[in-house]
């Protein structure tokens, strides 16, 4: 199938270039990795053909298919630029190409059986006495059937019964489907009919449709292809549901004062509200302010941040209000703790929550610096990288901030991508930047970052600018050895013009370094 989706076209472009961060950003929008472009090329084929090993690995982990028994897979393996890429493709089992196209899906899957922070607060059980521990907020978000039941129950109820006609296999199917654990390989033809019936009852229409279509197929390759298509659909369905749920979390925020403590009746009313939280996130309106907003959140989602994961797994004071019932799940009759957000900015907090709940990675450039600061404090490295991508792709950012502001951000948050973006921007307009006092300051600061400076040391910023000057004029280092640095001998080839224009820009940078008495 050939895709006309603009995000897919952009994805194919970055696969040719080899930009891992931009590909990861676009994958998080839900683009189908197994579509083909107008030339019948898949993203995986383009990445392997162009020799981008890290990108090939990322695409495979996110769900790209390379089945050697199908034309697309064989073509991908045959066209691989290097033997190492070919070996990666050959070793990758098609059964691994599952539903984990997005990191948030992988996180949800891990939460089904993760007992590390003891955040399960509901037992789902069938008539045979089988039980599984779940998170009620996920049933609220992903099943209208279960949501209506939970909303009619009291907050102190810890168990939910499945309908009588759900077969024994149903408990496993439901829990895996809710948590995006790949399950299609594990449903036998024998169980398909019964599973399909209760899926329609619970509103899992996509799963019921897959089972109906798969029942008509005999070829295993076609069945595997159908599995891949539907696992992608399941992920996107869940992502949209979690997006709507995250919007409810934001809508349910309350303005409170903490001067005398947050009133318990406020916390209780939020606890039994539409998101049924198990933790509250407090965001101050400004530094030293006693006022702020509290958001009704969920520990198993906040633990996508390593900061919160450590907090909830420890014996910090914030976690002492948690108590387990005899069944080993969260006791919802006690009060829940309030944890603080590290930045006094609700807009930033809500952007972070949207990332944690449904993997939003399109960060508005106006909020980029605050999101970087919060991501750094919360130890969310991937979001830092995605925010850096947003900065590099925004022309408006450099209209509001200088390139040296961006460099300060790059150094503060250890973002190599932004450092390269700054160096390229400077190289593209070297006559202007060498006249700026901030350029001198940046070079000196880059120089001071060397722990020990020897005569042969280079300054990283200068080195990067020199590199992008070569790229600007499409000159290889080898070309420089053949340059006659005397006057132009009259040849008018484009290459020679580029070389001498490069020389002029290069010399401007050298003159600045000499004027600063910096030997690089």
Residue-wise pLDDT for 297-319, tens only, equals 999 999 999 999 998 887 654 44
Other C-beta atoms within 10 Å of 510: how many?
14
* Residues facing 131 on adjacent strands: 125
The CA–CA distances, whole Å, from 160 to 16, 114, 345, 402, 507 equal: 50, 20, 38, 57, 75
- Both tokens assigned to 109: 């899957």
**If you average pLDDT over every residue of the chain, what do you get?**
83
The answer to whether the beta carbons of residues 122 and 139 sit under 8 Å apart is yes
Q: Which residues contact 432 (CB under 8 A, 6 or more apart)?
A: none
* For residues 453-471, average pLDDT: 79
Angle between helices 83-91 and 53-61 (to 10 degrees): 10
What's the whole-model pTM score? 0.77
Contact 42, 64 (CB under 8 A): yes
Asked if pLDDT for residue 258 goes beyond 70, the answer is yes
- pLDDT given for residue 357 in this prediction: 96
Q: What letter would DSSP give residue 179? A: T
Tokens 């006659």 sit at which residue?
Answer: 484
Q: How far apart are CA 448 and CA 461, in angstroms?
A: 11
- The Cα–Cα gap between 470 and 475 comes to 5
147 and 196 in contact (C-beta within 8 Å)? no
- With tokens 């190492």, the residue in question is 84
Strand duo 122-125 + 159-161: pairing: parallel
Is residue 261 classed exposed, middle or buried when 0-12, 13-18 and 19+ CB atoms within 10 A define those classes?
A: exposed
State the residue for tokens 């996110």. Answer: 62
CA–CA separation, 402 and 400 (whole Å): 7
pLDDT at 175 over 50: yes
Q: Which two tokens stand for residue 259?
A: 């001067």
Provide, rounded to the nearest whole percent, the portion of the chain with pLDDT above 70. Answer: 85
- CA-based nearest residue to 16, from 75, 81, 70: 81
| pLDDT: which is higher, 454 or 55 | 55
Q: Which domains does the chain have, with CATH numbers?
A: 6-97 (1.25.40.20), 118-240 (3.30.710.10), 248-377 (3.30.710.10), 402-515 (no CATH)
Phi, psi of 124 (to 5 degrees): -105, 130
Model confidence over 471-489: pLDDT tens digits? Answer: 888 877 665 655 554 444 4
What is the pLDDT, as a whole number, of residue 491? 47
End-to-end CA distance of the chain: 54
Rounded CA-CA distance 380/245 in Å is: 21
């Amino acid at each position: 199938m050939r895709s006309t989706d603009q995000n897919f076209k952009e994805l194919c472009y970055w696969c040719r270039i080899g930009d891992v961060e931009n590909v990861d950003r676009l994958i998080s929008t839900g683009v189908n990795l197994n579509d083909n472009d107008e030339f019948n090329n898949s993203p995986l084929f383009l990445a392997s053909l162009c020799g981008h090993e890290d990108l090939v690995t990322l695409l495979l982990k996110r769900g790209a298919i390379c089945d050697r028994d199908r034309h697309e897979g064989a073509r991908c393996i045959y066209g691989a630029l290097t033997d190492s890429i070919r070996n990666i493709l050959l070793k990758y089992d098609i059964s691994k190409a599952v539903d984990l196209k997005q990191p948030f899906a992988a996180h949800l899957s891990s939460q089904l059986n993760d007992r590390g922070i003891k955040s399960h607060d509901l037992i789902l059980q069938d008539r045979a006495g089988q039980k599984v521990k779940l998170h009620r907020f996920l049933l609220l978000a992903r099943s209208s059937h279960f949501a209506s039941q939970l909303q009619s129950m009291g907050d102190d109820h810890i168990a939910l019964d499945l309908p009588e006609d759900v077969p024994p296999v149903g408990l496993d199917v439901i829990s895996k489907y809710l948590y995006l654990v790949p399950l299609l390989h594990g449903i036998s033809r024998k169980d398909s009919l019964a599973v399909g019936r209760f899926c329609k009852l619970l509103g899992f229409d996509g799963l019921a449709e897959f089972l109906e279509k798969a029942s008509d197929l005999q070829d295993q390759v076609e069945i595997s292809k159908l599995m891949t298509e539907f696992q992608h659909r399941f992920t996107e369905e869940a992502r949209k549901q979690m997006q709507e749920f995250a919007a409810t979390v934001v809508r349910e925020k309350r303005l409170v004062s903490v001067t005398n403590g947050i009133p318990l009746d406020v916390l209780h009313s939020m606890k039994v509200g539409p998101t049924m939280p198990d933790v509250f996130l407090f965001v101050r309106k400004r530094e030293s302010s006693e006022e702020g907003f509290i958001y009704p959140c969920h520990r198993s989602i906040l633990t996508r941040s390593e900061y919160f994961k450590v907090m909830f797994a420890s014996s910090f004071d914030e976690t002492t209000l948690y108590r387990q019932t005899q069944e080993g799940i969260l006791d919802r009759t006690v009060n829940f703790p309030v944890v603080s957000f590290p930045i006094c900015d609700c807009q930033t907090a809500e952007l972070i929550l949207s990332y944690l709940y449904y993997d939003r990675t399109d960060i508005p450039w106006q909020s980029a610096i605050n999101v970087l600061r919060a991501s750094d404090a919360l130890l969310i490295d991937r979001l830092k990288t995605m925010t850096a991508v947003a900065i590099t792709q925004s022309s408006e950012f450099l209209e509001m901030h200088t390139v040296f502001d961006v460099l300060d951000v790059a150094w503060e948050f250890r973002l190599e991508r932004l450092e390269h973006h700054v160096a390229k921007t400077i190289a593209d307009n070297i006559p202007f930047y060498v006249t700026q006092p901030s350029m001198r300051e940046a070079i000196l600061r880059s120089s001071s970052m060397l722990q020990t400076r020897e005569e042969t040391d280079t300054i990283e910023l200068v080195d990067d600018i020199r590199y992008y000057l070569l790229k600007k004029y499409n000159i290889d280092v080898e070309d420089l050895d053949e340059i006659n640095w005397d006057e132009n001998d009259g040849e008018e080839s484009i290459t020679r013009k580029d070389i001498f224009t490069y020389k002029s820009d290069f010399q401007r940078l050298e003159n600045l370094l000499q004027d600063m008495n910096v030997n690089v």
